[in-house]
Amino acid sequence: MSGRAETRTPEPPDRDDEHENSPPRLRKKKNQGKPVAQREAATSDDSSAESEDSDTSKLVKEIVKLRREIRRRDELHKEELHRVKEEFGAALAEFRLELQTLANRPPTPQPHP
């Protein structure tokens, strides 16, 4: 057992004495540790937050405008599609009528060469 005790990691020294001799730690104010430039940057962060809000509202307005434009174009495309369907239907009916008259006509004799 004596061999095992020799390979054992020694206990760390008590640090209570170190803590007793050191001055008490006080919490710093949030802006106390920052240099003046960083404190000013922190206040400019507020203006950048306002700028971000402004940018966000601009983006929302742009999205609303784009949605309106898409709806308007959709309506125009629907109207155009309806008109094209009507024209195609009329042309198809005319073609069917012509095909029917050709089918009902007696065959004409073809001259043989």
CA distances, 59 to each of 37, 55, 70 (Å): 31, 6, 16
Average pLDDT over residues 96-108: 88
> Does 2 have pLDDT greater than 90?
no
Letter string b/e over residues 44-59, b meaning 16 or more CB atoms within 10 A of that residue's CB: eeeeeeeeeeeeeeee
CA distances, 61 to each of 12, 19, 65, 113 (Å): 65, 60, 6, 77
**Gap between the Cα atoms of 41 and 54, Å rounded:** 19
- Alpha-helix residue ranges (DSSP H) falling in the chain: 2-7, 16-21, 36-104
Q: Who has greater pLDDT, 112 or 41?
A: 112
> DSSP 3-state assignment of 51?
helix
Q: What's the pLDDT tens digit per position in 7-41?
A: 766 666 665 555 556 666 666 666 655 666 665 55
Q: What's the pLDDT tens digit per position in 40-91?
A: 555 555 667 778 888 999 999 999 999 999 999 999 999 999 999 999 999 9
Q: What is the pLDDT of residue 80?
A: 98
Q: What is the pLDDT of residue 75?
A: 98
**Gap between the Cα atoms of 24 and 19, Å rounded:** 9
Q: What is the pLDDT of residue 42?
A: 55
Q: What is the pLDDT of residue 110?
A: 76
